[in-house]
């Protein structure tokens, strides 16, 4: 059988802290080493300017790779020497910090496998650079979290990217919870809030970066951003999570949180019906606010135990099966 594959994952570091949290199960997996790939520099201002998206939108800025070239060369070389079989995993945040010629040289020199995962829509601002790089690098596998993007681009689809966290203790309680950015959802969110309060339900809702200004609806908090540990505390005190999207999109973290923490879910995203572990007994799919009925909160739906089926550890299992 030979030596097992080892995975060196470049996470994106401080520019993408949520990725580190989502994939944190891999910190306990001996098969995986998490590497930020984004070091601190004394010349931080110049470093940020050289890596600005506006400067690198169409092609990498000249000599940008020199910031990382020698350190990353040492990281990859030592990992290849120690483990023998090595796979380098990039995401759409971390990939643009590397020079394509260097990645191709690693593949030739050390025989590494190359994997790229998109955790944003391919049409999004945060995926454009990585999509440009992907065309010039011989990846062994490219994944997208969004099924339709994977199908249209000829990539693989993956849904194992959430690591269950320990929920904080809280004395607060809400029937329904939502906290997130506007991103075109404000009108629908406000409509849902009105419907829920009409049903005499307690709702905690926050809309960040709200577009359109006043009038604001009493009871909704506007433009108050939260760190994820604060969101987890609110989730701990909630019975139902609200998942509202504008237009088409992949499944949000609300779906994963509902499964991981034993909550019910209200969503207007039809994509949840295509997901593993979809459970119509505890997940209400709506098109408009009036689709929400008080009876859905009275049903004692069985909350099936969650066995981390959607943990990133399962994705590494899949890569093992593919490469070994």
For residue 118, give both structure tokens: 């998109």
What is the residue whose two structure tokens read 């004692």? 300
Please indicate whether residue 234 or residue 14 has the higher confidence score (pLDDT).
Answer: 234
DSSP state of 223: S
Contacts of 26 (CB under 8 A, 6+ apart): 7, 9, 32, 34, 163, 312, 313, 316
**Topology, domain 174-298:** Rossmann fold (3.40.50)
**Topology, domain 6-163+312-323:** Rossmann fold (3.40.50)
pLDDT of residue 42: 45
Contacts of 86 (CB under 8 A, 6+ apart): 5, 6, 7, 8, 76, 79, 80, 110, 111, 112, 113
For residue 39, give both structure tokens: 């070091």
**Which of 12-21, 97-106, 174-183 is predicted least confidently?**
12-21
Question: Residue 22 — very low, low, confident or very high, per pLDDT cuts 50/70/90?
Answer: very high
The CATH 3.40.50.2000 domain(s) of the chain lie at: 174-298
Question: Residue 317 — very low, low, confident or very high, per pLDDT cuts 50/70/90?
Answer: very high
Decide if pLDDT at 41 tops 80. no
pLDDT of residue 233: 97
Taking residues 44-60, what's their average pLDDT? 58
At 194, give phi and psi (nearest 5°): -60, -40
| Dist. CA 280–CA 272, nearest whole Å | 10
Decide if pLDDT at 26 tops 50. yes
Radius of gyration of the chain (CA): 21
Percent of the chain with pLDDT over 70: 86
Question: Residue 45 — very low, low, confident or very high, per pLDDT cuts 50/70/90?
Answer: low
Secondary-structure percent of the chain, ordered helix, strand, coil, rounded to 5:
40, 20, 45
For residue 7, give both structure tokens: 């995975």
pLDDT of residue 55: 59
**Which of 67-81, 140-154, 215-229, 250-264 is predicted least confidently?**
67-81
Decide if pLDDT at 175 tops 90. yes
First to last CA, the chain: 8
Decide if pLDDT at 151 tops 50. yes
* pLDDT tens digits, 66-111: 555 667 888 999 999 999 999 999 999 999 888 898 999 999 999 9
Helix (H, G, I), strand (E, B) or coil at 317: helix
Decide if pLDDT at 43 tops 80. no
pLDDT of residue 51: 59
Please indicate whether residue 242 or residue 249 has the higher confidence score (pLDDT).
Answer: 242
| Dist. CA 11–CA 23, nearest whole Å | 9
pTM comes to 0.87
Torsion of the alpha carbons at 178, 179, 184 and 188, rounded to the nearest 10: 20
| Dist. CA 165–CA 26, nearest whole Å | 13
pLDDT of residue 49: 56
* pLDDT tens digits, 265-283: 999 999 999 999 999 989 9
* pLDDT tens digits, 99-150: 898 999 999 999 999 999 999 999 988 899 999 999 999 999 999 999 999 9
């Amino acid at each position: 059988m030979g030596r097992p594959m080892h995975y060196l994952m470049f996470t994106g570091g401080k520019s993408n802290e949520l990725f580190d949290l989502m994939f944190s199960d891999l910190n306990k997996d001996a098969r995986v080493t998490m590497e930020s790939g984004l070091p601190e520099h004394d010349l931080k201002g110049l470093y940020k300017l050289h890596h600005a998206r506006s400067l690198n939108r169409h092609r990498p800025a000249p000599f940008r790779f020199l910031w990382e070239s020698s350190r990353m060369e040492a990281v990859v070389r030592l990992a290849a020497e120690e483990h023998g079989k090595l796979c380098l995993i990039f995401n759409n945040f971390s990939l643009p910090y590397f020079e394509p010629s260097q990645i191709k040289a690693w593949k030739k020199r050390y025989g590494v496998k190359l994997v790229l995962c998109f955790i944003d829509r391919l049409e999004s601002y945060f995926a454009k650079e990585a999509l440009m790089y992907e065309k010039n690098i011989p990846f062994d596998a490219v994944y997208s979290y969004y099924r339709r993007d994977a199908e249209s681009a000829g990539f693989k689809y993956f849904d194992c990217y959430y690591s269950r966290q320990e929920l904080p203790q809280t004395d607060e309680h809400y029937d329904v919870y939502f906290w997130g950015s506007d991103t075109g959802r404000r009108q629908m969110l406000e409509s849902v809030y009105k419907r829920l309060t009409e049903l005499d339900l307690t709702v905690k809702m926050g809309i960040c970066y709200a577009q359109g200004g006043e009038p604001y609806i009493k009871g909704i908090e506007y433009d108050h951003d939260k760190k994820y540990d604060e969101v987890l505390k609110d989730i701990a005190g909630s019975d139902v999570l609200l998942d509202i999207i504008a237009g088409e999109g992949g499944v949000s973290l609300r779906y994963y949180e509902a499964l991981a923490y034993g909550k019910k879910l209200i969503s207007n995203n039809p994509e949840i019906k295509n997901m593993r572990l979809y459970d119509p007994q505890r997940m209400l799919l709506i098109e408009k606010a009036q689709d929400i009925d008080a009876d859905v909160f009275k049903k004692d739906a069985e909350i099936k135990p969650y066995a981390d089926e959607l943990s990133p550890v399962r994705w590494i299992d899949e890569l093992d099966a593919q490469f070994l």
